[in-house]
Structure 1
Amino acid sequence: MESGSMKWRVKGKQELNSASAITVRSVLNAITSKVSPTDERPIIPLGHGDPSHFPSFRTTCIAEDAIVDAVRSAKFHCYSSTTGILPARRAVAEHLSNDLPYRLSPDDVYMTIGCTQAIEIMLAVLSSPSANVLLPRPGYPYYEARAAFEHLEVRHFDLLPEKGWEVDLDSVEAVADENTVAMLIINPCNPCGCVYTYEHLEKVAKLAKKLGIIVITDEVYDHLTFGNKPFVPMGVFATIAPVVTVGSISKRWIVPGWRIGWLVTNDPKGILRQSGIIDSIIGYLNVSADPVTFVQGALPQILEKTKEDFFSKIKGVMREAANICYDRFKDIPSIDCPFKPEGSMFVMVKLNLSLLEDIDNDTDFCLKLAKEESVIILPGSAVGMNNWLRITFAIEPSSLEDGLARIKAFCERHSNSKMQ
């Protein structure tokens, strides 16, 4: 019988289509497709935070040698255990404990396939028919995408650009209710480039305690700070409210493709265990894929032997790039940069559409910029801020200068003559 005359019962899952449409990857793919094939200039990628393509950001030889040593040892060709191999979990516990007033145990650490899987685990564990989770606006849209996939309600609280992108604590309390289970903090912040102070994070922890919720803290950019504020882990305040930390070596070591991360429970009072969260995390890991074992095997050497001069060099390049961004945007009237970035790899800038002709909104700006100048940036609407732009400065400084010059030329070409 011809297949055309049969009724096939298979059907795609629409939730995947709608959830994936709001990811950074999906939005940037759509914008990149608009680049003119006749433009002989190199594409300037200011939209995606992956500096590993550029010579200034090559990872340390310590990390590369650790991978080679792990493979040649022939000790890590096996399957991983559910929560990760013990040497890796122990190394992460010791590494993170250096910044905490207490010591983490290897049993507090769960190895994951990058920070992405750690995010997936927590949102899956927290999802239930009535639960909601509080996410920052602007924020990292993968959280929204995964929450949609898990049928977990999202409510947004605001970050305040006029206060260096601090959390609007009043807005947190306004959107929370008896079904709220957790709130997210991203520090150092993607997409804003801010670094939160000890005092501000303590206020967040106290509010979480008042609301009876846990704090998920995304610290994938931990210690990537180059302003006046040092990095303070949210786990410092775990005696106030339970904290779940998600992180990885992807950004600090400039190896996002290695896909090794962690989920860590900062829970001195045992609240997460008593509530069943720990059992649910393990249950999820029992039915999911494991991070590559030889990369786990290399982790102790990577974490313990990397020298501070490597991190200082990377932060120096970031500092220079952040300054370039902040200074160059002062010369573009239609774009305002309200806050010089102090951490992560990103800055948020605001469009003044009244000074531009033939530009409808932030997405229109990015599509036309890609077509006319071969510069790729992320529209702010993708991270919850209409008519803003998220720009990464983690590229070669010369390419950054080129990209910003093209943005200026684009804005001048589209300037509103009536506003001159």
Structure 2
Amino acid sequence: MENGAERWNFLGDGKLKATSGTTTVHGVLLNIRRNVDKDDPRPTVPLGHGDPSLFPCFRTTTIAEDAIVDAVRSAEFNYYSPKPGLLPTRRAIADYLSRDLPYTLSPDDVFLTVGCIQAIEVTLMVLACPGANILLPRPCFPSYDAHASSNNLEVRYFDLIPEKGWEVDIEGVEALADENTVAMVVINPGNPCGSVYTHQHLKKIAETARKLGILVVADEVYHHLSFGTNPFVPMGVFGSIVPVITLGSISKRWLVPGWRLGWLVTSDPNGILQKSKIVECIMGRLNLTSGPPTFIQGAVPQILEKTGEDFFSKVIVILREAAHICYDRIMEIPCITCPNKPEGSMFVMVKLNPSLLEDIIDDMDFCLKLAKEDSVIVLPGVALGMKNWLRITFAVEPSTLEDGLRRIKAFCQRHAKKQ
């Protein structure tokens, strides 16, 4: 679309229209957990959540802990934070992210948020122009659908292709987009798929978005958590091809999701987002909300500067080994297939074949009965837009992972149809 550049002005006049939310991962898992038999002497195995910090092997670095203590004891961070965040913190994040980019980010490109969830919320509020639609991947982290729905932003889903490492169906994206499409969302490394996209594939996505005259919203909350053949490449590398809004946080790489420190970054060396007033709208939305705690912001520069590669390497080794265990054990279960060994994030998507099981209707029924009979919590794919799939997290203690997968195998054997 040759006139795509003219359409950036269409994006800047978002109108907030609140409606009821939709399904959340937390809500689905809470419902499944209620099915656990309280008389089961075995501990419940949580393979449906995304919080590794519950397990000793995934404790954050003492560098981060000391930075928080220093910030609190300094008494320098007890005041209200400015809405975009503290300048030294935004500068530190800009420098940190610029290490992987062919250009240098400015602190003015960085907006601090209460975790990545608020970054998602603000982004979709800004993009919710009257009549607009946004393209989301299927499967997708459901917060995108929930916040789009609450802002009357139409959602259109493009498929991720399991047989191709969950790559984006580029032709499907082009078929879905029209003159009212404002953006497409790319989650890399992938939640829920455990995928890590190549440089070539990401460039093709950027070129497609440019052709369609739309933004790319890059969810990189699992940035650098890659342990397969493909290294992590930030979408912002292609910011000169298409404007990119990058969403991230310290939650996953530093194993501190409860600290709720995230960011929204405009990766846009050509200044298109500034000209189209997107940046102004982002600032306007943040003015309506509270930001992350000031003392955590104050700790971030020290966390980013002083955390050594040895900490990150240790986490990667644990995740890689856990992904191998998960993949190998799943391969032993006839009614569950895994199209790809996970290469990033903390999850794997596997396909369930209910026709091989007695008294199991679908993925939700599987998860409810698995919780009741074996005290194992797994997320049904229907919560992510993929019926008869399951999302399993492997970011748990290795012994706990082995125990949970053994119980899943035993459950499937008990319910297997007799030949």
TM-score (normalised: structure 2): 0.95
1:38-60 per-residue CA deviation (whole Å, 9 max, x = no partner) reads: 11110000001101010000000
How big is the shift at 1:353?
1.4
Aligned to 1:376: 377
Aligned to 2:413: 412
Aligned to 1:86: 87
1:87-109 per-residue CA deviation (whole Å, 9 max, x = no partner) reads: 10000000000000000000000
Q: Give the Cα separation in 1 of the matches to 2:398 and 2:137.
A: 30
Q: Give the Cα separation in 2 of the matches to 1:281 and 1:331.
A: 48
Q: Give the Cα separation in 1 of the matches to 2:114 and 2:353.
A: 40
Aligned to 1:96: 97
Aligned to 1:282: 283
Aligned to 1:359: 360
| Pair 1:393-2:389 in alignment | no
Contact (CA 8 Å) 2:18, 2:150: kept in 1 or not? Answer: no
How big is the shift at 1:330?
1.1
1:298-340 per-residue CA deviation (whole Å, 9 max, x = no partner) reads: 0000001001010111111100110001100111000001100
1:260-309 per-residue CA deviation (whole Å, 9 max, x = no partner) reads: 01000011111111111011000001111111000000000000100101
User: What does 1:182-261 align with in structure 2 at a 5 Å threshold?
Assistant: 182-261=183-262
How big is the shift at 1:68?
0.4
> Counterpart amino acid of 2:112?
M
> Counterpart amino acid of 2:370?
L
> Counterpart amino acid of 2:40?
D
Q: Give the Cα separation in 2 of the matches to 1:340 and 1:111.
A: 34
How big is the shift at 1:15?
3.6
Aligned to 1:307: 308
| Pair 1:68-2:69 in alignment | yes
Aligned to 2:346: 345
Q: Give the Cα separation in 1 of the matches to 2:77 and 2:326.
A: 43
1:231-283 per-residue CA deviation (whole Å, 9 max, x = no partner) reads: 00000000000000000000000000000010000111111111110110000
Identical aligned residues as a percent: 67
Q: Give the Cα separation in 2 of the matches to 1:334 and 1:15.
A: 39
| Pair 1:134-2:132 in alignment | no
> Counterpart amino acid of 1:220?
V
1:12-46 per-residue CA deviation (whole Å, 9 max, x = no partner) reads: x9943xx24x1101110110011011111100000
> Counterpart amino acid of 2:368?
L
1:205-253 per-residue CA deviation (whole Å, 9 max, x = no partner) reads: 0000000000000000000011111000000000000000000000000
Contact (CA 8 Å) 2:114, 2:261: kept in 1 or not? Answer: yes
How big is the shift at 1:182?
0.2
> Which sections of structure 2, spanning at least 5 residues, go unmatched?
1-16
How big is the shift at 1:62?
0.0
Q: Give the Cα separation in 1 of the matches to 2:261 and 2:65.
A: 14
User: What does 1:110-129 align with in structure 2 at a 5 Å threshold?
Assistant: 110-129=111-130
Contact (CA 8 Å) 2:139, 2:159: kept in 1 or not? Answer: yes
| Pair 1:331-2:332 in alignment | yes
Aligned to 1:169: 170
| Secondary structure of the corresponding residue to residue 200 of structure 1 | helix
How big is the shift at 1:129?
2.1
> Counterpart amino acid of 1:25?
H
Q: Give the Cα separation in 2 of the matches to 1:286 and 1:145.
A: 22
Q: Give the Cα separation in 1 of the matches to 2:275 and 2:92.
A: 26
> Counterpart amino acid of 2:272?
I
Q: Give the Cα separation in 1 of the matches to 2:175 and 2:362.
A: 29
Stretches (4+) displaced over 4 A: none
Q: Give the Cα separation in 2 of the matches to 1:260 and 1:330.
A: 37
Contact (CA 8 Å) 2:248, 2:263: kept in 1 or not? Answer: yes
| Secondary structure of the corresponding residue to residue 155 of structure 1 | strand
Q: Give the Cα separation in 2 of the matches to 1:14 and 1:169.
A: 31
Give RMSD over aligned pairs. 1.0
Q: Give the Cα separation in 1 of the matches to 2:184 and 2:266.
A: 15
How big is the shift at 1:352?
1.2
| Secondary structure of the corresponding residue to residue 359 of structure 1 | coil
How big is the shift at 1:128?
2.0
| Secondary structure of the corresponding residue to residue 296 of structure 2 | helix
Aligned length, in residue pairs: 403
Q: Give the Cα separation in 2 of the matches to 1:93 and 1:329.
A: 40
Q: Give the Cα separation in 1 of the matches to 2:280 and 2:239.
A: 19
Q: Give the Cα separation in 1 of the matches to 2:63 and 2:386.
A: 40
1:344-399 per-residue CA deviation (whole Å, 9 max, x = no partner) reads: 00000001112111000000000000000000000001111110000000000000
| Secondary structure of the corresponding residue to residue 190 of structure 1 | coil
1:57-97 per-residue CA deviation (whole Å, 9 max, x = no partner) reads: 00000000000000111110000011000110000000000
Q: Give the Cα separation in 1 of the matches to 2:121 and 2:272.
A: 21
How big is the shift at 1:167?
0.3
| Secondary structure of the corresponding residue to residue 231 of structure 1 | coil
Contact (CA 8 Å) 2:223, 2:232: kept in 1 or not? Answer: yes
Aligned to 1:5: none
* Higher mean displacement: 245-254 or 269-278: 269-278
Q: Give the Cα separation in 2 of the matches to 1:174 and 1:409.
A: 44
Contact (CA 8 Å) 2:19, 2:152: kept in 1 or not? Answer: no
Contact (CA 8 Å) 2:126, 2:278: kept in 1 or not? Answer: yes
> Counterpart amino acid of 2:296?
V
